[in-house]
Structure 1
Amino acid sequence: MSEFAPHRARKRFGQNFLHDHGVINRILRAIGPREGQHLVEIGPGQGALTAGLVDSGARLDVVELDNDLHPRLLAMFGHKPLFTLHKGDALKFDFRSLVQPGEKLRVVGNLPYNISTPLMFHLLSQADCVADMHFMLQKEVVQRLAATAGMNHYGRLGIMVQYWCEVEHLFDVGPGAFNPPPKVDSAIVRLTPHARLPHPADDVEMLEIVVREAFNQRRKTLRNTLKPLMDADAIAAVGIDPTTRPEQVDLAGWVRLANQLAQARPQTAPPSS
């Protein structure tokens, strides 16, 4: 590494480089990479996790946006036969293009806070080719992902991610594990796409609409917050008290509400001319 000048973390890329070897090893143990698996690391940075992933014997593709890091990563790992560097933006990357017949990807990343949510949903749109995901995220984001009905952090993000995945908040990581240290605590989360959706919606877009509408005014009752979409009788028809607040409704309840609305929609559509 001596031939490379120190890399200055760039705010526009949301870079905070992991350097605590105890945390790095704990993350690697949580992932448990093995020979024969196919891993994808998003934003490998200076290769803190990459070294352990590639040494596992797994096939490893990495996606890095920062051009200045590409020579460093190639110098460190380019000679490894199972290592491939992809230069580009993970938000636009086609992860399905990496999949070979009969396999699924294991995705890993220390995600920049500013792109973590859209990137997760970009991956969930390709969840059929993903075995699991392990991410370092802002602690509050992980709390939102893992929260269930009645918890303080429960809301749109957790509901929609839990629709697609099992969510496990594994452990927290303090700012001192990074260079530069962020101003917030971080946490490791494991997302495992459901082999079979536990509460399949008739129309996922309708589920997104219902949840968004409800949580735009989360302190109001469903009778009031869902008024533009459905009346109190329609809410009660799926076994939910219209005076309930959004944070008290579990995932199964949201799917029932969305299905009720989806089934009613054709009846309210204007007649064709």
Structure 2
Amino acid sequence: MSELFQHRARKRFGQNFLKDSGIIDRILRSIHAVSTDHLLEIGPGQGALTEGLLASGALLDVIELDQDLIPLLKLRFGLNTLFHLHQGDALKFDIASLTKDEGEKLRVVGNLPYNISTPLIFHLLSHHHVIHDMHFMLQKEVVERMAADPGSSDWGRLTIMVQYFCQVEHLFNVPPECFTPAPKVDSAIVRLTPYQTLPYPAKSHQLLELVVREAFNQRRKTLRNTLKRLLSVDDIEKANVDSGLRPEQLTLAEFVRLADQLYINQHIEG
């Protein structure tokens, strides 16, 4: 077992290995995996959470990018028939390929590297239809952005797109000393639960992403300025949205109405 901990965390992979047993237990209790679950762990590292996840009796797929960790994970868990290891980049991995039966959904877990957390979450959201829930360790400020309310400085593109697809719960914070090496920032655990039925379904979530991205490119400006490439002032008003507001002042429902207005415009023109 001592060999396992000779691996040095790699800065280029954004690795910070969880070492605090109390926090590990608290995360596992939050996930509350059972034997009928199909789990996916992203970035298992040295297996701090992996052991507890397997103890639930659930089927566990893991995706690890760092080739040096592969033999260590195989040594520790390779004989367990519930454990399936995939070496590769989670950003490019076809998550849906892991589901074997129609209607099967994955429970996703990960201590996500801070340097790829946002693009990885967007990638996972694109597979929301095959995901039951997600539990992630992330930079605390990222979790605060996900759970933000309209009107706050944290309300932005990540908030809106995550809350469009998922219920967000900021579970608890994790201090730097719980990791090796200790990161320079606080971390937090978040639970994301994809909606069975979207509360504000857009006619096109791709157009919603476009409108949100365009709006927040210049978040200090009003909508009539930030969205002028996509929507006129009249279009914004047709969507029952005040064109004099700044993007951080809009609710998710209002952004969906703007995206739907853009959809209508495109189809009228088409």
| TM-score, shorter chain, exceeding 0.5 | yes
Seen in structure 2, the aligned counterparts of structure 1 residues 199 and 5 have a Cα distance that, compared at 3 Å, is: closer
Matched, 1:91 2:114: no
Q: In structure 2, the residue corresponding to 1:62 is in which secondary structure? A: strand
Aligned partner of 2:228 in structure 1 is 227
Offset of residue 11 of structure 1: 0.6
Q: In structure 1, the residue corresponding to 2:230 is in which secondary structure? A: coil
Aligned partner of 1:169 in structure 2 is 170
Matched, 1:139 2:177: no
String of CA shifts for 1:175-204, please: whole Å, max 9, x gaps: 101000001111111111111111111122
Aligned partner of 2:212 in structure 1 is 211
Q: Which amino acid aligns with 2:55?
A: D
CA distance in 2, matches of 1:25, 1:70: 24
Seen in structure 2, the aligned counterparts of structure 1 residues 262 and 4 have a Cα distance that, compared at 3 Å, is: closer
Q: Which amino acid aligns with 1:232?
A: V
Q: In structure 1, the residue corresponding to 2:190 is in which secondary structure? A: strand
Alignment of 1:108-119 (within 5 A): 108-119=109-120
String of CA shifts for 1:112-149, please: whole Å, max 9, x gaps: 01111111111111111110111111111111111121
Matched, 1:130 2:131: yes
CA distance in 1, matches of 2:188, 2:4: 30
- Structure 1 runs of 4+ aligned residues shifted over 3 Å read 266-269
- CA contact 2:4–2:46 (8 Å) conserved in 1: no
Offset of residue 100 of structure 1: 2.1
Aligned partner of 1:191 in structure 2 is 192
Aligned partner of 2:9 in structure 1 is 9
Identify unmatched segments of 5+ residues in structure 2. Answer: none
- CA contact 2:105–2:131 (8 Å) conserved in 1: yes
CA distance in 1, matches of 2:32, 2:203: 36
CA distance in 1, matches of 2:118, 2:192: 13
Aligned partner of 2:48 in structure 1 is 48
Q: Which amino acid aligns with 2:87?
A: K
Aligned partner of 1:34 in structure 2 is 34
Aligned partner of 2:264 in structure 1 is 263
Q: Which amino acid aligns with 2:239?
A: V
Offset of residue 92 of structure 1: 1.4
CA distance in 2, matches of 1:50, 1:5: 15
Q: How many residues align?
A: 269
Offset of residue 3 of structure 1: 4.1
Q: TM-score, normalised by structure 1?
A: 0.95
Offset of residue 4 of structure 1: 4.3
CA distance in 1, matches of 2:212, 2:4: 49
Offset of residue 231 of structure 1: 2.1
CA distance in 1, matches of 2:126, 2:248: 25
Q: Which amino acid aligns with 2:41?
A: E
Q: In structure 2, the residue corresponding to 1:200 is in which secondary structure? A: coil
Alignment of 1:54-93 (within 5 A): 54-93=54-93
Offset of residue 158 of structure 1: 0.7
Matched, 1:100 2:100: yes
Q: In structure 2, the residue corresponding to 1:69 is in which secondary structure? A: helix
CA distance in 2, matches of 1:243, 1:2: 62
String of CA shifts for 1:184-235, please: whole Å, max 9, x gaps: 1111111111111111111222111211111111111112222222222221
RMSD across aligned C-alpha pairs, in angstroms? Answer: 1.3
Q: In structure 2, the residue corresponding to 1:84 is in which secondary structure? A: strand
Q: In structure 2, the residue corresponding to 1:44 is in which secondary structure? A: coil
Offset of residue 5 of structure 1: 5.8
String of CA shifts for 1:56-103, please: whole Å, max 9, x gaps: 111111111111111111111111121111111111112212112142
Matched, 1:179 2:180: yes
CA distance in 2, matches of 1:245, 1:47: 45
Q: In structure 2, the residue corresponding to 1:197 is in which secondary structure? A: coil
CA distance in 2, matches of 1:171, 1:52: 19
CA distance in 1, matches of 2:118, 2:4: 32
Identify unmatched segments of 5+ residues in structure 1. Answer: none
Q: In structure 1, the residue corresponding to 2:41 is in which secondary structure? A: strand
